[in-house]
Structure 1
Amino acid sequence: MLRTKLSAAAFGTVAAELIAALTRHHGADPARLWGIVAAAIRDTGTDDAPHLLRDPLPVKATTAMRLAADPSTMSGHCWRTRWRHTHDAQHLHGPGRAHRSRPGRARTRPGRRLPRRPAGGRRHRRAAAARRAGPRRHPGRRPRRAARVRPGRIPGRRRRRPGRPARRHRRPGFAAELRNAVVNLAIAMARPQAPIGDGPDWQAIGWERLAVAGHNLHPCGRTRLGWDTGDVLAYDLETEQTRVGFVAVRDELHLGDDVWPEIKSPAGWTVQPVHLWQRDMVLPARYGDLLRDRSLIVLDDEVPAVPTAALRTLLLPGTGEYLKVSLDIQVTSTRRSISVASTRNGPAVSQLLHRLVAAAPGGDRLLLMAETAGAAVPVGSGRDLSAIRRDGLAGRLQPGEQAIPGGALPFLLDDLVGGDPAGWLRDYAHLLLPPLMRLAAQGVALEAHLQNCLPTFIGGRPHRLALRDFAGLRLHLPRLQAAGHDINLWPGSVVGTDDVDVMRAKIGYTLFQAHLGEIVLRLDLDETQAWRIIREVLDSCCTGDDHAAFTAPMVPHKALVRMRLAGDGDVHLPVPNPLHAR
């Protein structure tokens, strides 16, 4: 029994998971790896080695245990023989867990081997034939009477039990998102701290890893639907380093800039960066025809990269730049592929922001991490092979200046706020509000939540504000034109709007609720006093209808849980505004 317990834990879980991950992500030969394990066992020379190498090897059948055990006691063990030799690769049934159950296994009592039942047997064929034939009625049986309908009932509509959510709010997908987020949070908390390289950008990623739960408001901040455990270990934020791959795209399929001219391509082709997971999992499944006719060619070139909290955005060490590439997994509420519009609007929006900031008083307190190039491959969804190149912070900070991602600020306030928290908050509000309100008055509502802001500090005091990722901002086109600015957006872009309330909702939610609201909660300061300080700073830099909107008695708040339950896009609920009363 002791040997069986050892073999199940050591080989059924630990070694199997490791070998499956090496096979999938590094192309290792599983038979060779299991041979190494078997050789190591034989080299021990212990009496246990023959038992561990015997054929067949028992593996704990946990599902059969739950099915066969006495429900009142849930006791008993059921072991089944699964593998042949530990150096045989036949136990690997595709990616994921190496000891995944085989199809066609029936229940049995503890102690007996589970019989094989071929999939698609007579029972399955009979069931399929019955479904095709439709409902049967006995020749001598009278047809059923029509069901009686009680007064006030609608025929065909089932009544909902009191207290049970409406059917449209019973989404099993949300439960799966929560489970996935919990599992990935546990993995992140269990992983050792990855080393941090030199430079402000790499150090910023090190700070980002403090926010292990992910998004500060979203209930599924660690959701990575589409990744298995091996993918999380290879590509998530806690991974020390990964790589970026490249594909060659025929020019007639390529739309936009040459994002990576460092790799020379032959005439008629353009090199496009791609996330390794996207290259290995999405391209073969969706674009096999383009790979076969060589409209797309997977290149051997790869460059080192470091994942950021955004996952699809990766730092390129030594370059001072980032790449944002399509990653078709769901993180929080959104699949992280990139639209054609984002790739074409990014450089144009960056140029517009540079013009606005340069002309504004105090513009030197804003550091724009500009999007310098963008391209897409408009095949399939048009979102699977997009890439955007972005400036970093290397060489742009002053001596003693430290850039800290907003997501890490709640965990560093005790170190940054060395004296009066009220004075520190006033300085921080003066850093944020004047430039962002000035841009809003000209028609630009930046998505200023914690993840997109990197405030800089000197000696713990707020100094400058670095801003990144402009894909989610809103541009009020009439205000821009009135201020003498124009921009050519990609047709159908959601970033441009004629509705001023849409623009205000973007900056209001991200700046006041998601950003400053989190800082207020974490400061050692009375909330009423904290919001009074923010209101005083807002009064000094915002006027007119914008001021009235941001200080209204009620403001719209994004209902993240309700959005996931309903699945109908953005949902906002009115909430009391702490900026209303002074």
Structure 2
Amino acid sequence: MSPSFSTSSTAARTRALFETTKRVLAQSINDGLVDATIEPFPTSSKPQCVILRGKEDVGILPYARVELNGVRVTGFLRPDDLQLPVQIEHATGGLQDEVDPGTICQIVCLWQTERVKSEESLVREVRNSAENQDKWLEMEKGLPRLSLRSPLIDWERSCILGHPTHPLHRTLLAQPPLKPIDAAELPTLLDPEVSFISVPRTSLHVTGPFEQLIKPLFDKLDVFEPSSERIIVPCFSRQLPSIRAHFSDVIHIKSVEHCAQAHISMRTVSIRPELGFTPHLKLSLNCQITSGPRTITPWTALAGPVVTQFLKKLLPPDLWVYGEIASITGSQTDFDRARHLTCIIRENLENKAEQENVALIPATGLYQKPFGDDRTYAEILFELDTLDRKRDWFRHYTANLLRALLPPLASHGIGLESHSQNIVVRVHLKTKEIVGFAVRDFGGVRLHRPSLQRAGCDLSSVPPGGPTITDDLHSVWCKVHHSLLQVHLGHLLYMLGLEPNGGWPVVRDEIERALKPIENEGARKLYAYFMKRTMQFKCFMIMRLKGFIVMSTIANTSKYYERELPNIVLRD
């Protein structure tokens, strides 16, 4: 059944559907699920199209960059390079226009030699993504036009299209026993109701001064703990059924509406300024957002404060850190149960930024476009109205970012998950110059054990069995290549129109400049690794079809399915 869009215009429905469909098509090719060629468009005035296995075709922009062997696609294809129409050729002849991502997904699955039960789930997930995308496009119309003076929370709300390449870019599915979430309810996730529950102290594991730090919020909201043998924990009201399913003796104290504002991730919130509580709270949410449930494992909760100490010690002083300074999570040995009740207290750097007269903008905000404008915020804020200005600005951005992130990777094996949602840009309000960056969210950080031990770091307090600490240095480098180069810088240069206009040579130059001063074997090997002829790319659709999730809660494994493709960094 095709998705239902009851309130949108035909044009808006088509755009929402195609935002997901083009990701399904591109990812099917990138995952190797289908063969594709670029050939003249058989039924349109468009100059060329991508043909999938001879039975589907979709338009492609003439300036698209993708590696080819003859006419066969062999490299990474960007969804945004695809354009309507999408046409299906029937076995009996004739072409049919089709824009429903579920139908396209079903066809791709039918072509596979091995059929799996998860096909139906994947079809449901991509259709859910399109349904939610339609609602996001509707909400976009009411967003303010942003400036350097806009508060951080407004920038958090500016990300309308979600992940730039993932087919589940806007998927949001509540997991049982939570009630299903309709697309019309998305605004309630952006301004969630927060509940405060009392749980026996023996059922929880506390790291850092959690109770001391959270007390000012409780005092402001008149939330009081009835017993010293219990702890009050904030949670999403929506999450309560999951908590009660995995924790006994939970007492509901109070629920408060309109006290929190969700960030891009949906599970991290800022408390409204009038309540006078500045730290951010990261809360478990048993909803599939993109590829996996957004509950928070004890590994992440317990490791956060420890990782914060390592990062503040070893990262360059000019790279600000959103420290995870305290946490609380379930004490069960079964982490699949414990993860349903977790709260991490994270530092808020807005006061520090105000003192230094800088704006804080999540990097993903720079390539968003305000409603009704075809320019990115980067182009608008920094007056990037020519290719030369775009290249110069991008070089400055890239140089500063790589100088902050690559030396710690080369010297200490610190692999930050530096995609554009986790990196916050610091921009001077007067000069409009990018003066630095800040890093946040440490669940995806990978740390190389031998390198950290050589730096004198004591790893004994990091919980065993989690994915954060690894002995595999190449896995750390690979993750940074994906998050920093493929996703962050790759999409930014693409959105600035620099993929066919010298963007990747800038990246290669600045990688060399960031690593050359280090002059050690680690830096030389890292540079050689980043310049390999091929590189692993994540296969998002295969991971879903194979039942993989982002991180296994059962064993110390990151369950990725990856494929070697021509290294995107080597593009002209």
What range describes the TM-score normalised by the shorter chain of this pair? Answer: 0.5 to 0.7
* Residue from 311, 319, 341 that aligns with 1:353: 311
Cα drift, residue 432 of structure 1: 0.9
**Is 1:405 aligned to residue 359 of structure 2?**
no
Which residue in the other structure is 2:381 paired with? 416
Partner-residue secondary structure (3-state), 2:232:
strand
Cα drift, residue 395 of structure 1: 1.0
**Is 1:282 aligned to residue 242 of structure 2?**
yes
Question: C-alpha distance in 2, partners of 1:513/1:344?
Answer: 30
**Is 1:191 aligned to residue 163 of structure 2?**
no
Which residue in the other structure is 2:115 paired with? 167
Cα drift, residue 400 of structure 1: 4.6
Which range moves more in the overlay, 558-567 or 345-354? 558-567
Please give the per-residue CA displacement for 1:391-412, whole angstroms capped at 9, x wherever unaligned.
1122111555222112221121
- Whether the 8 Å CA contact 1:169–1:566 is kept in 2: the answer is no
**Is 1:477 aligned to residue 443 of structure 2?**
no
Which residue in the other structure is 2:188 paired with? 235
Which residue in the other structure is 2:70 paired with? none
When residues 423 and 390 of structure 1 are mapped into structure 2, their CA distance, relative to the original with a 3 A threshold, is same
Question: C-alpha distance in 1, partners of 2:169/2:399?
Answer: 29
Which residue in the other structure is 1:529 paired with? 502
Which residue in the other structure is 1:383 paired with? 339
Please give the per-residue CA displacement for 1:153-199, whole angstroms capped at 9, x wherever unaligned.
xxxxxxxx994542138611000101111111112222366678999
Cα drift, residue 493 of structure 1: 1.3
- Whether the 8 Å CA contact 1:200–1:394 is kept in 2: the answer is no
When residues 197 and 327 of structure 1 are mapped into structure 2, their CA distance, relative to the original with a 3 A threshold, is farther
**Is 1:548 aligned to residue 543 of structure 2?**
no
Partner-residue secondary structure (3-state), 2:173:
coil
Please give the per-residue CA displacement for 1:239-263, whole angstroms capped at 9, x wherever unaligned.
xx33321111111112114352333
Question: C-alpha distance in 1, partners of 2:458/2:184?
Answer: 43
- Whether the 8 Å CA contact 1:324–1:388 is kept in 2: the answer is yes
TM-score (norm 1): 0.66
Which residue in the other structure is 1:317 paired with? 272
Unmatched 5+ residue regions in structure 1?
1-12, 15-160
Partner-residue secondary structure (3-state), 2:163:
coil
Which residue in the other structure is 1:461 paired with? 433
Cα drift, residue 324 of structure 1: 0.5
Cα drift, residue 460 of structure 1: 3.9
Query: Which residues of 2 match residues 144-183 of structure 1 at below 5 A?
Result: 163-168=111-116, 171-183=119-131
* Root mean square deviation of aligned Cα: 2.8
Partner-residue secondary structure (3-state), 1:489:
coil
- Whether the 8 Å CA contact 1:415–1:460 is kept in 2: the answer is no
Query: Which residues of 2 match residues 39-78 of structure 1 at below 5 A?
Result: none
Letter in 2 for 1:550: F
Which residue in the other structure is 1:299 paired with? 253
Please give the per-residue CA displacement for 1:13-58, whole angstroms capped at 9, x wherever unaligned.
99xxxxxxxxxxxxxxxxxxxxxxxxxxxxxxxxxxxxxxxxxxxx
**Is 1:447 aligned to residue 417 of structure 2?**
yes
Question: C-alpha distance in 2, partners of 1:473/1:484?
Answer: 19
Cα drift, residue 580 of structure 1: 3.7
- Whether the 8 Å CA contact 1:235–1:311 is kept in 2: the answer is no
- Whether the 8 Å CA contact 1:552–1:577 is kept in 2: the answer is yes
Q: Identity across aligned pairs (percent)?
A: 26
When residues 435 and 308 of structure 1 are mapped into structure 2, their CA distance, relative to the original with a 3 A threshold, is same
Cα drift, residue 434 of structure 1: 1.2
**Is 1:511 aligned to residue 511 of structure 2?**
no
Cα drift, residue 483 of structure 1: 2.1
Partner-residue secondary structure (3-state), 2:151:
helix
Question: C-alpha distance in 1, partners of 2:378/2:148?
Answer: 19
Greater RCO between the two (CA within 8 Å, min separation 6)? Answer: 2
Question: C-alpha distance in 1, partners of 2:142/2:392?
Answer: 35
Cα drift, residue 313 of structure 1: 0.7
- Whether the 8 Å CA contact 1:376–1:385 is kept in 2: the answer is yes
**Is 1:558 aligned to residue 508 of structure 2?**
no
Partner-residue secondary structure (3-state), 2:193:
strand
Question: C-alpha distance in 2, partners of 1:342/1:525?
Answer: 37
Question: C-alpha distance in 1, partners of 2:202/2:270?
Answer: 29
Please give the per-residue CA displacement for 1:284-337, whole angstroms capped at 9, x wherever unaligned.
4554xx2xxxx3211115371001111111111223221111100101111011
Which residue in the other structure is 1:68 paired with? none
Question: C-alpha distance in 2, partners of 1:482/1:450?
Answer: 30
Letter in 2 for 1:573: R
Cα drift, residue 369 of structure 1: 0.8
TM-score (norm 2): 0.67
* Residue from 328, 340, 345 that aligns with 2:298: 340
**Is 1:573 aligned to residue 543 of structure 2?**
no
Which residue in the other structure is 1:426 paired with? 395
